[in-house]
Structure 1
Amino acid sequence: MQLPEKAIESRYDYNKIIPWFRKKASKFIGKEYVISESEKGIIFALIAWMLKDDLVAKEMNFDLNKGILLSGPIGCGKTTLFKILRYCNFPAAKYGIVSTRHIVSEFMREGYEILEKYSNGIPYNNQQKPRYLCFDDLGTETSSKYFGNDCNVMAEILLTRYDLFKEKDLITHLTTNLSAGEIESQYGNRLRSRMREMFNLFGYEESSDDKRK
């Protein structure tokens, strides 16, 4: 996602917000947080989404009623970025972050009730409503067996959350290293089709630097 060539009308002053964000991010990670040229558009759009800035959303062509699917190569900083946004306490950054591997591990131990737990959500701040969740590293989990029954755990969870997205405006976020074709291969065309309705796609370039180095 690229920054627009012309200035965007907004009720927020991003010339102040971006430096503040970098300062908070640097504090969170314990070193200077560097924003590369290739990710400026992604970070700008993500902050606008977390602020629910409808003017920027319209200009940059993303939907505030959809969640975010953040894709990119290993180590480009997808998970850290979602953690920083939550740390900054933006108005719409009220979500839990859980790795898909952790969910599958829970499923292997506890069975099908785990599908219900993450499909319908966990109450957030004692509010009895489905919790917004960011599922981290979609694709790193594997199809699991529980007492011999094959179950594509994340596919089942996401299909149920799609229904809740349609019925109750439930927001889900994802990070993944997978391409669109790999998502379809691993989770099926039925889910991929629904994901187009559920998510704005924000993607890092394949050449993005590994920030773990």
Structure 2
Amino acid sequence: MSYPKPHIIVEGAVQYTLGMMKGNQIVYDFDKMLVYLDAKGKLLFGKKFKIYKEDRDVLYKLCLYFIQDGISCKEFGIDIDKGILLSGPVGCGKTSLIRLLKNLVPHRKPYEVVPTRNIVFGFNHLGYKTIEDYGNTQFFCFDDLGVEPIGRHYGKDCNVMGEILLSRYDLFLDKKIKTHATTNLNAQELEDLYGIRVRSRMRQLFNLVAFENSSVDKRK
């Protein structure tokens, strides 16, 4: 599907203009993107969804990344060729935002958001084929990285997500295939769970974008 005007998104009877064309480039307007994200969020997650004022800084970085504004991203230390690791406390809205933001750029290849627990349950049932399935060239976002249990297939334990992250790292090196993830864990907790080798690969796979630890639980 082609998008001759990817900065204009139609939802039902409403048209959202996210910016303007200058030559063959789109100049995005952050406030207009927020209006669209708020409206799309309500469509996806219900009328209680809203964009919180205290999340604007995180959202600004994420929007810059998803529209692939390389110059502005560089100012924030974000590499547009890597994926995003979105971290923050439970209930801060990570999963909702990562599901929402791909709608901002309908002209780009979408990623599938998959809970890590589901992947491990699949491994327990199907075995190593599951690791192969997530080591392919599809774009994935692994949701809630680090809360999944250890996999167990025919009596053998396996750190399933650790193995998958190593496969995704190889894909990134060979074919520049991106991987995204969300997590409640900090860097040390991730290293304790997956080991130094995987943690080292994660630094090369991901840009870290983090909510403040004081972020409120929006589920309450």
Q: TM-score range by the shorter chain?
A: 0.7 to 0.9
How far apart, in 2, do the equivalents of 1:99 and 1:27 lie?
A: 21
Aligned counterpart, 2:125: 109
How far apart, in 2, do the equivalents of 1:188 and 1:32 lie?
A: 39
Question: CA shift at 1:93, angstroms?
Answer: 6.0
Question: CA shift at 1:89, angstroms?
Answer: 4.4
How far apart, in 2, do the equivalents of 1:192 and 1:92 lie?
A: 28
Aligned counterpart, 1:73: 89
Selected match of 1:99 from 115, 128, 132: 115
Aligned counterpart, 2:184: 177
> Any stretches of 5+ residues in structure 2 without a counterpart?
1-25
Selected match of 2:66 from 50, 61, 84: 50
Aligned counterpart, 2:31: 15
How far apart, in 1, do the equivalents of 2:201 and 2:126 lie?
A: 28
**Identical amino acids, percent of aligned pairs:** 46
How far apart, in 2, do the equivalents of 1:190 and 1:101 lie?
A: 22
When residues 90 and 41 of structure 1 are mapped into structure 2, their CA distance, relative to the original with a 3 A threshold, is farther
Task: Kindly report which structure 2 residues correspond to 1:78-89, keeping only aligned pairs within 5 A, or say none.
Answer: 78-89=94-105
Alignment of 1:64 onto 2:71: no
Task: Give a deviation string over 1:89-136, Cα, whole Å, max 9, x none.
Answer: 44446100101100000001111111100112xxxxxxxxx1110000
Aligned counterpart, 1:4: none
Higher RCO (Cα < 8 Å, 6 or more apart) = 1
Q: Name the one with the larger strand percent.
A: 2
> Any stretches of 5+ residues in structure 1 without a counterpart?
1-9, 121-129
Say how many residue pairs are matched: 195
How far apart, in 2, do the equivalents of 1:90 and 1:55 lie?
A: 22
How far apart, in 2, do the equivalents of 1:44 and 1:90 lie?
A: 18
How far apart, in 2, do the equivalents of 1:93 and 1:77 lie?
A: 23
Return the letter of the residue paired with 2:199. Answer: R
Partners of 1:96 and 1:133 within 8 A in 2: yes
How far apart, in 2, do the equivalents of 1:160 and 1:200 lie?
A: 18
Instruction: Give SS of 2:98's match.
Output: helix
Partners of 2:119 and 2:130 within 8 A in 1: yes
How far apart, in 1, do the equivalents of 2:84 and 2:171 lie?
A: 16
Return the letter of the residue paired with 2:133. Answer: K
TM-score, structure 2 as length reference: 0.83
State which drifts further: 53-62 or 183-192.
53-62
Alignment of 1:135 onto 2:115: no
Question: CA shift at 1:30, angstroms?
Answer: 1.6
